[in-house]
Chains A and B, each alone.
Chain A
Amino acid sequence: MRKPSLHPFTWWLWAIGLAIAIVRFDSTWFTVACVGAVAVVVYLCRDDAPWAKSFNWTLKLSLWILAVRTFIGITIGVPIPGTEIFRVPIVPLPSWMPGIRIGGSVTLERLTSSVTEGLLICSIIVIFGAAASLTSPHRLLRVLPVYIYEFAVAVVIAASVLPQLVGSVKRIRMAQRLRGQSTKGFTSWKRVAIPLLEESLARSLDLAAAMDSRGYGVSKKRSRYRPISWRLKDSLVVVSSLGLAVLA
């Protein structure tokens, strides 16, 4: 028996509140503290459902985004004067591209501003990743109003197929390792991508067909077998983050 869970909207509202707070505070330390707190919450509250792992994937994804964004931020664009850390040679560009510079002096100011901006974007991705891994997409579907039927189907398919992809990636990579292929480097990912895309497409179509043939969205009214109610716990979680957003 699983532990009684919160309302499916709770963690999403909590995530929205935190995201607003982070943007309004606009402080690196606050952002880092928030991400840390979110990570602790996720590790404490998540169960062993397949979607619970999506948090780890958003963490990896956002680290990658941060690295790429920082690299682009310090090599391309307008120089910020300040303490120089190191220089890279300037790539000569044709005269019809004025104002754009690749390379040149990398200053401490330029580095910190790139990192801060990147961190902001990443923290928001991570926070919504946390919401996704703490909420069952199936329960989410049950509380979404039928009026947004097509949107709801898309959300559920995205939210339930994506975590399954994690499992599929593992399985396919394993099969390819057994075929004696190397599983490192970019080409190995290309080999995984094709079977993976096929499988996820097939799964999504299956799920959409199943929902359709069971009459989802036909009647605008839905009854509830076991109503999901909003409880005090839910309010507390949401207030905790919205409070931060208002304080900021």
Chain B
Amino acid sequence: MIKFSHVSLIYPNSTTTVLEDLNLTIEEGELVLVIGPTGSGKSSLLRLINGLVPHHTGGILAGDVSVNGISTQLTKPGGMAHLIGIVGQNPANGFVADTVEEELAFGMEVLNLTNEVMRKRVEEVLDLLSLAQLRDRSIATLSGGEQQRVAIGAALVTHPKVLVLDEPTSALDPIAAEEVLSILHRLVHDLGLTVVIAEHKLERVIQFADRIVHINGDGVAHVGTPEEILMQSPIAPPIVHLAKALGLKEIGLTVREMRRMTSDFRSEQPVVNQVVAKEIGDVVISFDKVKVSYGSKVALKEISSRIHNGEIVAVMGRNGAGKSSLLKVLAGVNKPDSGVVYIQKLEPFGLHGKKRRETIGFIPQEPSDLLYGQSVKIECQQADRDNELVAGTTFAVLQQLVPGISEGTHPRDLSEGQRLGLALSVVLSSNPSVLILDEPTRGLDYEAKNELTRILITFASAFGKAVVLATHDVELVAELANRVVFIADGDIVADGSTLEVLLSSPAFAPQVAKVMSPQPWLSVKDVVAAIEGMQ
């Protein structure tokens, strides 16, 4: 269906090739997963399929890419529209209509299909993706998961043979991600659709993949079955790491497989109740009966809690549950409608300048909002000046967090992980009492995520400070947090140690916990520590 023959790709003004001599044939009805570190060229590979690269982005392409026998060299992306549906990394940027129904119809209108065909297909897709009750809604008012489903629907209405998705679940909570992926799985099996997905969160997609393309970033791409690739690749979901840590000969890709493989191991282990040592520092953040509403919509319903020094608190919940609203109130972005928030006895909303920098470090969803310098150097110098530090301090912090960034680089040219590192070092240079992060792992690969985990744990344990982060990433929470606050519909529904909260909800339980249940282990680290403790 899709054929890459001797494909090499290089962008102008770049010294490294993105892809070198890639040969790959994807058969009809295959689901292929593209993995690799950020910036390695996953998106480029996806966009080569319908010719957006190089027709839209520039770059020099050698070799040939053809879909269903049509070469992208001779046909522009528009000419492939009936054949390929593509959903970008950020579907909200690609919407061209106001309402769900019109958005779905757009692709068919431009292909000049008749009205009867359009009506039939819109109904089909509305049913297929369970969008029927949203048909008249304005797209701007939909949640992230709903927007993702609309984007997939809009790509499917033209009945393409190939569907290409760039990180379809990165902004979604575990349940919404599950919905989207199971829909794709069904399409592959029922309609023989060919699907190509790029994704960082392997634990979510790996069980659906027929083959994996692993791009290293140096132009070399390995193609193989999931087992083959994951055995060698450093990029792997937690259950693969678990299999390796337990020294199993084979690796399992689903929780079911892994439970079978580990049944002997599990039966040998006595069930232990892990005792969580509770060291509680002083209260640093306290909020009481905080209520936030936007117009008639109530985002937070009079919630109260306390956060202590040394705690890493993960705020979890479904898309639109009120996580961001809580973080914004804590960081002093918004003033609560009623109720009080204190950080070290100060009200965050009224803080300015130096006082604010020293009290709250806030990393917004787009870390680049904080950055405006023309180079990493200027950015670091500004932070030094702001905080009256010795010149070079911030850059030294950055070197520690993310080694190997050169001073002259423009922040825009950094990878997602590096940019987050820069924003973090700028924020940390003022030594804030609390650190608040809003979905820091969007678009981060495993390596960058491990790095972030290490930094935050150091910040919380070595300096005894509090970290609050909102995230959908269950695996990150399992590794990082020691307390989870679960929000649903503007209310705190669970608040306790990570272990208690994550194990009590199957949808939000990490993979290792599912495999090792009923043992109270959340991550590979826990399992290894437990085994060592036995011996």
| Interface residues of A, Cβ cutoff 8 Å to B | 1-2, 49-50, 136, 138-139, 141-142, 156, 171-172, 174-182, 190-192, 194-195, 198, 202-203, 205-219, 221-226
The answer on a CB contact under 8 Å between B94 and A210 is yes
- Contact code string B358-394 (vs A, CB < 8 Å = 1, else 0): 0010101010111110100000000000100000000
Whole-angstrom CA separation of A182 from B356 in the bound complex: 12
Q: Which residues of A contact B113 (CB under 8 A)?
A: 223
Q: Which residues of A contact B94 (CB under 8 A)?
A: 206-207, 209-211
The answer on a CB contact under 8 Å between B333 and A174 is yes
Quick one: which of B147-188 are within 8 Å of A by CB?
154, 158
Contact A206-B88, Cβ < 8 Å, known A214-B107, A224-B109:
yes
The answer on a CB contact under 8 Å between A212 and B78 is yes
The answer on a CB contact under 8 Å between A180 and B52 is no
Which residue of chain A has the shortest Cβ distance to B351 in the bound complex? A180
Whole-angstrom CA separation of A50 from B141 in the bound complex: 11
The answer on a CB contact under 8 Å between B353 and A180 is yes
Closest 4 CB pairs of A and B: A215-B81, A210-B94, A225-B105, A175-B369
Known: A136-B98, A215-B82. 5 other contacts (CB 8 A): A174-B364, A215-B111, A216-B96, A223-B109, A226-B102
Q: Which residues of A contact B55 (CB under 8 A)?
A: 212
The answer on a CB contact under 8 Å between B102 and A225 is yes
Contact A213-B372, Cβ < 8 Å, known A2-B138, A175-B364, A219-B112:
no
- Contact code string B61-78 (vs A, CB < 8 Å = 1, else 0): 000000000000000111
Whole-angstrom CA separation of A191 from B370 in the bound complex: 9
Residue in contact with B110 in the complex, picked from A138, A182, A214, CB distance below 8 Å: A214
Q: Which residues of B contact A142 (CB under 8 A)?
A: 97, 102, 109
The answer on a CB contact under 8 Å between B86 and A213 is yes
User: Among B114-122, B285-293, B474-482, B513-521, which stretch is in contact with chain A?
Assistant: B114-122
Whole-angstrom CA separation of A40 from B98 in the bound complex: 25
Asked whether any CB of chain A lies closer than 8 Å to the CB of B452, the reply is no
Q: Which of A210, A216, A219 gathers most chain B CB within 10 Å?
A: A210
The answer on a CB contact under 8 Å between B369 and A223 is no
Interchain nearest-CB distance for B442 vs A (Å)? 15
Asked whether any CB of chain A lies closer than 8 Å to the CB of B430, the reply is yes
Q: Which residues of B contact A195 (CB under 8 A)?
A: 368-369, 371-372
The answer on a CB contact under 8 Å between B98 and A49 is yes
Q: Which residues of B contact A136 (CB under 8 A)?
A: 98
Interchain nearest-CB distance for A186 vs B (Å)? 14
The answer on a CB contact under 8 Å between A223 and B372 is no
Residue in contact with B88 in the complex, picked from A50, A171, A209, CB distance below 8 Å: A209
Residue in contact with B372 in the complex, picked from A176, A177, A218, A226, CB distance below 8 Å: A176
The answer on a CB contact under 8 Å between A223 and B98 is no
The answer on a CB contact under 8 Å between B110 and A216 is yes
Q: Which residues of A contact B356 (CB under 8 A)?
A: 178, 180
The answer on a CB contact under 8 Å between A222 and B110 is yes
| Interface residues of B, Cβ cutoff 8 Å to A | 47, 50, 52, 55-56, 76-82, 84, 86, 88, 90, 93-98, 101-102, 105-115, 118-119, 122, 136, 138, 140, 154, 158, 331-333, 352-357, 360, 362, 364, 366, 368-372, 374, 386, 412, 426-427, 430
Q: Which residues of B contact A49 (CB under 8 A)?
A: 98, 138, 140
Q: Which residues of A contact B354 (CB under 8 A)?
A: 180
Whole-angstrom CA separation of A73 from B78 in the bound complex: 51
The answer on a CB contact under 8 Å between B109 and A225 is yes
Q: 11 pairs across A/B with beta carbons < 8 Å? A: A1-B136, A49-B140, A178-B356, A178-B370, A180-B353, A207-B96, A210-B94, A213-B84, A215-B107, A215-B111, A222-B109
Whole-angstrom CA separation of A129 from B106 in the bound complex: 27
Q: Which residues of A contact B426 (CB under 8 A)?
A: 179
Whole-angstrom CA separation of A218 from B77 in the bound complex: 9
Which residue of chain A has the shortest Cβ distance to B387 in the bound complex? A180
Which residue of chain B has the shortest Cβ distance to A204 in the bound complex? B93
The answer on a CB contact under 8 Å between A206 and B90 is yes
Whole-angstrom CA separation of A218 from B86 in the bound complex: 17
Interchain nearest-CB distance for A177 vs B (Å)? 8
Whole-angstrom CA separation of A207 from B115 in the bound complex: 26
Whole-angstrom CA separation of A128 from B56 in the bound complex: 32
Interchain nearest-CB distance for B430 vs A (Å)? 7
Q: Which residues of B contact A207 (CB under 8 A)?
A: 93-94, 96
Which residue of chain A has the shortest Cβ distance to B154 in the bound complex? A214
Whole-angstrom CA separation of A136 from B102 in the bound complex: 13
Q: Which residues of A contact B109 (CB under 8 A)?
A: 142, 222-225
Whole-angstrom CA separation of A179 from B428 in the bound complex: 11
Interchain nearest-CB distance for A196 vs B (Å)? 9
Q: Which of B93, B114, B331, B364 gathers most chain A CB within 10 Å?
A: B93
Q: Which residues of A contact B86 (CB under 8 A)?
A: 210, 213
The answer on a CB contact under 8 Å between B386 and A180 is yes
Whole-angstrom CA separation of A141 from B109 in the bound complex: 12
Q: Which residues of B contact A141 (CB under 8 A)?
A: 96
Interchain nearest-CB distance for B295 vs A (Å)? 9
The answer on a CB contact under 8 Å between A213 and B77 is yes
The answer on a CB contact under 8 Å between B371 and A210 is no
Q: Which residues of A contact B362 (CB under 8 A)?
A: 175, 178
Q: Which residues of B contact A194 (CB under 8 A)?
A: 372, 374
Which residue of chain A has the shortest Cβ distance to B427 in the bound complex? A179
The answer on a CB contact under 8 Å between A198 and B368 is yes
Q: Which residues of A contact B332 (CB under 8 A)?
A: 178
Whole-angstrom CA separation of A140 from B144 in the bound complex: 26
Q: Which of B112, B136, B353 gathers most chain A CB within 10 Å?
A: B112
Which residue of chain A has the shortest Cβ distance to B332 in the bound complex? A178
Interchain nearest-CB distance for B125 vs A (Å)? 13
The answer on a CB contact under 8 Å between B88 and A217 is no
Q: Which residues of A contact B105 (CB under 8 A)?
A: 225-226
The answer on a CB contact under 8 Å between B102 and A217 is no
The answer on a CB contact under 8 Å between B369 and A222 is no
Q: Which residues of B contact A208 (CB under 8 A)?
A: 56
Contact A210-B98, Cβ < 8 Å, known A50-B140, A195-B371, A219-B111:
no
Q: Which residues of B contact A181 (CB under 8 A)?
A: 386
The answer on a CB contact under 8 Å between B412 and A225 is no
The answer on a CB contact under 8 Å between A179 and B370 is yes
The answer on a CB contact under 8 Å between B96 and A191 is no
Whole-angstrom CA separation of A195 from B370 in the bound complex: 9
Q: Which residues of A contact B56 (CB under 8 A)?
A: 205, 208-209, 212
Q: Which of A190, A192, A215, A226 gathers most chain B CB within 10 Å?
A: A215
Whole-angstrom CA separation of A212 from B118 in the bound complex: 20
Q: Which of A171, A192, A195 gathers most chain B CB within 10 Å?
A: A195
Q: Which residues of B contact A192 (CB under 8 A)?
A: 372
The answer on a CB contact under 8 Å between B93 and A206 is yes
